[in-house]
Amino acid sequence: EGSKSFTKEICDAARIPTAKWERFDAIAPALEFVRRRGAPIVIKADGLAAGKGVVVAQSVAEAEDAIRAMMEDETLGAAGRSVVIEECLTGDEVSLFAFCAGETAVLIGAAQDHKRIGEGDTGPNTGGMGAVSPPAGFDRATQDAALDLLVRPMLAEMVRRGTPFRGVIFAGLMLTEDGPKLIEYNVRLGDPEAQALLIRLQSDLLPALASVADGTLDAADIRFSDEHSVSIVLAARGYPGRPAAGGVIEDIEAAAALPGVAVFHAGTRRDDAGRLVAA
């Protein structure tokens, strides 16, 4: 997750399907590359950029602006000093999650998050306005097949390198006409995907996490409901720019009392009058 070029190197070594790519440490060859390849094209800051390091450029000019912003203006700091430039994959984007330890991977499930702020998939991208689990057309058998194609070979390659991975893998996938291809690996549960996934967990989470840590994952009791779930994010006015603090949030208790509904809080507080408000 900390280096997109490292992810690509692992994919190449393990023969994991992914977008064609090049890494650049200097701005001139990066600009020449996008002019030669054309658009649409994807520009990624190589390092961690708090979810803001990817630009899907619809024109060469947009790609050039993204490269200059990252590499010349350093809008993303050290994260953007090197960039990865990829072909633009098309299809439905989904996320696949698994508990992993060594070469063992146990499926958590899949989700599809919706990032744009506005109705009808409009407006700027956010950290996620909600998620559906499982995504339409990506059932358990398809998820298992994707785990074999895109996650287990990566785990085997990490073991081969002497750096076995233990933790949660969150694999971003594109379901292309040629089959699923890897977009990225994250080493965490996603937000808002985790809310849609873990609410379906029927066994205990703590022993599952302990089995990842101590290498007994293959014997762990991990069970998920077959029910579908949806998470919906209610964000403060102004998000994803500068959220306005102090907005009153009402009827949370009534929502939480509905059958099958759970309410999770982040960025909230009680004001002096005891009202729940955006922090």
Kindly state whether residue 35 falls inside one of the protein's structural domains: yes
> Are both 104 and 144 inside the same structural domain?
yes
> Are both 78 and 128 inside the same structural domain?
no
> Are both 99 and 196 inside the same structural domain?
yes
Kindly state whether residue 150 falls inside one of the protein's structural domains: yes
Write down which residue in 87, 112, 135 finishes a domain.
Answer: 87
Instruction: List the chain pLDDT tens, one digit each, 279 residues.
Output: 789 999 999 999 999 999 999 999 999 999 999 999 999 999 999 998 877 789 999 999 999 999 999 999 999 999 999 999 999 999 999 999 999 999 999 999 999 999 889 888 888 888 889 999 999 999 999 999 999 999 999 999 999 999 999 999 999 999 999 999 999 999 999 899 999 999 999 999 999 999 999 999 999 999 999 999 999 999 999 998 889 999 999 999 999 999 999 999 999 999 999 999 999
> Are both 177 and 112 inside the same structural domain?
yes
Write down which residue in 38, 63, 87 finishes a domain.
Answer: 87
Query: Cα–chain-centroid distance for residue 241?
Result: 20
Which of 247-256's residues contact partners 24+ apart within 8 Å by CB, and which partners? Answer: 247/277, 247/278, 248/275, 248/276, 248/277, 249/276, 249/277, 249/278, 250/276, 252/276
- Give residue 227's pLDDT: 93
Kindly state whether residue 270 falls inside one of the protein's structural domains: yes
> Are both 173 and 217 inside the same structural domain?
yes
> Are both 47 and 109 inside the same structural domain?
no
> Are both 72 and 193 inside the same structural domain?
no
Please report, for the domain that includes residue 72, its CATH number: 3.30.1490.20
Kindly state whether residue 1 falls inside one of the protein's structural domains: no
- Give residue 42's pLDDT: 96
Kindly state whether residue 5 falls inside one of the protein's structural domains: no
Kindly state whether residue 160 falls inside one of the protein's structural domains: yes
- Give residue 28's pLDDT: 97
> Are both 118 and 215 inside the same structural domain?
yes
Please report, for the domain that includes residue 164, its CATH number: 3.30.470.20
Kindly state whether residue 15 falls inside one of the protein's structural domains: no
pTM of the complete model: 0.89
> Are both 226 and 119 inside the same structural domain?
yes
State the total domains in the chain: 3
> Are both 171 and 218 inside the same structural domain?
yes
- Give residue 69's pLDDT: 95
> Are both 225 and 146 inside the same structural domain?
yes
Instruction: Tell me the residue range of the domain where 199 lies.
Output: 92-230
How far is 105 from 200, CA to CA, in rounded Å?
Answer: 18
How far is 232 from 132, CA to CA, in rounded Å?
Answer: 9
Evaluate whether 231 touches 239 at the Cβ level (below 8 Å): no
Kindly state whether residue 14 falls inside one of the protein's structural domains: no
- Give residue 253's pLDDT: 93
Evaluate whether 203 touches 217 at the Cβ level (below 8 Å): no
Bridge partners, 18 (sequence order):
182
> Are both 78 and 97 inside the same structural domain?
no
